Amino acid sequence: MTGNHRISLLTVCQVWAKAILVIVFYGTGLISQDVQKGVIEFRPSDQEAGVPRLFQLPAARFQWELKAVRQAQRHHVWALRFPSPLPSDVPVNNVVHAEYFLPASPPQGGSRYPAVIVLHILGADFPLSRFMAARLADHGVAALFIQLPYYGKRKPPNSPDVKFLSSDMNRSQLAMKQGIMDIRRGFSWLASRPEVDSTKLYATGVSLGGIMSALAVAIEPLAKGGVFTLAGGGLADILWNMPEREAKAYRSAWEKSGRTFADLKTLVDPLDPLTYADRLKPKQVLIIAGNVDEVVPPRSTKALWNAAGQPPVIWYDAGHYSAAAFILPAMRETIAFLTTGKTSSP
């Protein structure tokens, strides 16, 4: 499994066709409004001592609630709620909201499903994450789409400036840490499920979701591996050089306050997947990247790839946004890797 591949850019017409697929994936049938409730007793294992101190979880008892929402021909969808293990100063943000996509068909051979946590992009494109989760479930992988702090139902009403990433870098730092702790609790919930194989737990995501997945997989003992798309290491460099207008405004405000790039690096390095990438070496990892990515530049992807022990990597001829043209081939690679441990490309 060599893993270094290059694929030519798709046409604009194909991009529109794939966008339509994202919209219609969900299915139409409502299923019964049954609610399941349970309690998980988290007791740190011996492996918890090996988790970086910043992300260690103490012993805790937490309740969860699972409510049936929808069914499609090949998967069912459930709404999941549980408390964040790291509460913020915004009460509505302290309930983690997730969607559990469960295959409709029983696992082959009487076994259990592998399971993956799916994380969304910075722009909160939930339909993309739901599309990914649905396609994974259609192929026999239980998928848990988690909303990160200050997104979706976790965003405080009438507070547009309270965001996961903003000019308030202290809040952004705490939000990223909270997100990782929420993901860790999500892994614990998946490991408790009778239909899930707790030895086959993964994480995947695109852009921010890919960066958060890489960090979570690196530090989480339960995680076997993951697929990280349009992600990289060197978080300070990525944030400092993001081309978006809002990001430039954040950088300008940061500099006007007298702080430097070195100050930003000191703040975010403890949350950078590159800091812990050596922990990915024994894990099952695939990286999917764009060779002209203007947001997560190839140098950042290559830094993460090298530090992670040079796992399989697929390069598309695309930038960060034009990579939308490759949603279907990237999804096929993700499914193939999480179900077989191999890429579908030669």
pLDDT tens-digit map of 241-280: 988 777 788 888 888 889 899 999 999 999 999 999 999 9
Across the chain, what does the average pLDDT equal?
A: 89
What pLDDT sits at residue 45? 92
345 — pLDDT class (breaks 50, 70, 90):
low
262 in Cβ contact with 38 (< 8 Å): no
Please give the Cα distance from 311 to 284 (Å, whole number).
8
The sign one gets for the Cα dihedral 183, 188, 193, 199 is positive
Residue 2 has pLDDT above 70, yes or no: no
What pLDDT sits at residue 9? 32
Q: What is the pLDDT of residues 165-197, one digit of tens each?
A: 888 888 999 999 999 999 999 999 999 999 999
Tokens 């999480």 belong to which residue? 338
Please give the Cα distance from 98 to 187 (Å, whole number).
12
Structural domains in the chain, sorted by start: 5-339 (3.40.50.1820)
Amino acid identity of residue 207, one-letter, is: S
Backbone angles phi, psi at 108, to 5 degrees: -70, 140
Question: Higher confidence at residue 2 or residue 321?
Answer: 321
What pLDDT sits at residue 265? 94
Residue 6 has pLDDT above 90, yes or no: no
Residue 3 DSSP SS3: coil
What pLDDT sits at residue 253? 83
Please give the Cα distance from 215 to 184 (Å, whole number).
11
Alpha helices, H only, the chain: 12-24, 126-138, 169-192, 208-219, 235-241, 245-256, 261-268, 298-307, 327-340
Average pLDDT over residues 42-65: 96
Average pLDDT over residues 141-166: 93
Work out the percent of the chain whose per-residue pLDDT is above 70.
90
What pLDDT sits at residue 34? 80
Residues 6+ apart with CB under 8 A from 210: 119, 204, 228, 229, 230, 231, 296
Backbone angles phi, psi at 169, to 5 degrees: -70, -25
What pLDDT sits at residue 33? 54
Give the global pTM. Answer: 0.89
Q: What is the pLDDT of residues 303-340, one digit of tens each?
A: 999 999 999 999 999 999 999 999 999 999 999 999 99
**Closest listed residue to residue 89, CA positions, set 175, 167, 151:** 175
What pLDDT sits at residue 256? 87
